[in-house]
Structure 1
Amino acid sequence: MEKKIGAYMSQIDNELAMKDEPVMRSGNEPPLDEHQKLYGFGGWLYFVVIGLLLTFGNSLYYLLTTLLPIYKDGLISDLQSENGNYLVLIIYETVTYLFYVLFPLYVGYLGFKKMKRVRTMIICFYLLNFAFNVGYYFVANSIEELASPDFIGEQGRNIVKSLITCIVWIPYFINSKRVKCTYVN
């Protein structure tokens, strides 16, 4: 009797294993054919990568041509003796532009590995960019010589541009099916 029950149970297991039933899904993933179509780098992600490459190149150029000579030529001590706020501004710019050089490299590495953290890191990048622009506005505004209407207006435009960037790209990285299908590791 036990042999019959065992044989019957194994037959049921085999029949269940062979059934072509849909796989349980959480509901957040697109259908498989759409998932396969959206997997991989493409679409709007090209614009994000172009932006990161431009940020990296521009920031590296600024560090090497503008900030590095200030440190090498001893201008930093002259600026500090003239107005202590200049020192704060130069250090703020140095830290910010180092971030703009190193962070895109890190995000690029995560992107090549197709890590899930890319989404979070890009969102953090855009939020930090906005915060850096707001901070730069206040630091630069504390120096009377820099507080001209043209300079402050330019910094205000930078704040608005970074805010628009956040408004556009953060929801994209949160809701995009391509991003969810591409960065899976």
Structure 2
Amino acid sequence: MQQEPRQEPFQESMIEYRPLGVSGLGGLLILIQIGLWFSVIMFLLQINQFTLTILNKEIWEVLTAQDSGYYHPLWAPVIIFEVVFNLLFLVFTVYTMIAFYRKKAILPRLMIIFYSLSFVVGVVDSLLLYQIPIARELEDGSSIWDIARSAIACAIWIPYFRKSERVKNTFVR
């Protein structure tokens, strides 16, 4: 009786997938990493400087009490909108960073949402603030610059995440 040579069972986990072409977190993805880290730092600073200050009882009452000279009915909704957005978007950005470093296949969609949402919320926030006379008077053009910068980021990075060979080869898990 002749024995057949013993073959090892195929183990998919032992095979490493290596895509053809460029892959990895290099190239333009280095700029994305810097941008994500910068966003987290900016959100933390904004929460520390704006949120904690504006939610101070005295400042809140100056802006939202009807007998105050600075009162406007949109102050409370705008402030709440900004606080909630900043907190949720901070969590979303951290989640996106985790997906980025784990090279998750969902990352391109998360980045498209990241850039699109940043643009849309910037426009909505500016339009709401423009409805408040004192906020309109204090506007120094920075919100228009922020919207333009966000639109440029969308125009560059959304197509990049949709078409880049590096992105397709890197985020596959």
TM-score (structure 2 length as normaliser): 0.80
Q: Is the 8 A contact 2:130 2:136 kept in 1?
A: yes
Q: Is the 8 A contact 2:103 2:170 kept in 1?
A: yes
1:156 aligns with 2:140: no
Structure 1 position 123, deviation (Å): 0.3
> Which residue, 113, 131, 136 being the options, matches 2:102?
113
> 1 CA distance for matches of 2:74 and 2:115?
26
Instruction: List per-residue Cα deviations over 1:26-81 (Å, max 9, x = no partner).
Output: xxxxx9542xxx22110000111111111110111110122113224442233111
Q: Secondary structure at the match of 1:145?
A: helix
> 1 CA distance for matches of 2:59 and 2:142?
25
Q: Secondary structure at the match of 2:103?
A: coil
* Alignment coverage as a number of residue pairs: 151
Q: Percent identity?
A: 28
> 2 CA distance for matches of 1:42 and 1:54?
18
Q: Secondary structure at the match of 1:84?
A: coil
Q: Which runs of 4+ in 1 moved over 3 A?
A: none
Q: Is the 8 A contact 2:96 2:110 kept in 1?
A: yes
Unaligned runs of 5+ in 2: 1-17, 66-70
What is the aligned partner in structure 1 of residue 36 from structure 2?
A: 52
Matches within 5 A, 1:28-177: 33-34=20-21, 38-81=22-65, 82-148=71-137, 151=139, 153-177=141-165
Unaligned runs of 5+ in 1: 1-30
Q: Which structure has greater helix proportion? A: 1
Q: Is the 8 A contact 2:43 2:90 kept in 1?
A: yes
What is the aligned partner in structure 1 of residue 10 from structure 2?
A: none
> 2 CA distance for matches of 1:153 and 1:146?
12
Structure 1 position 152, deviation (Å): 6.1
Instruction: List per-residue Cα deviations over 1:119-165 (Å, max 9, x = no partner).
Output: 000000100000011101111101001113x7163212211111111
- AA of the residue aligned to 1:40: G
TM-score (structure 1 length as normaliser): 0.75
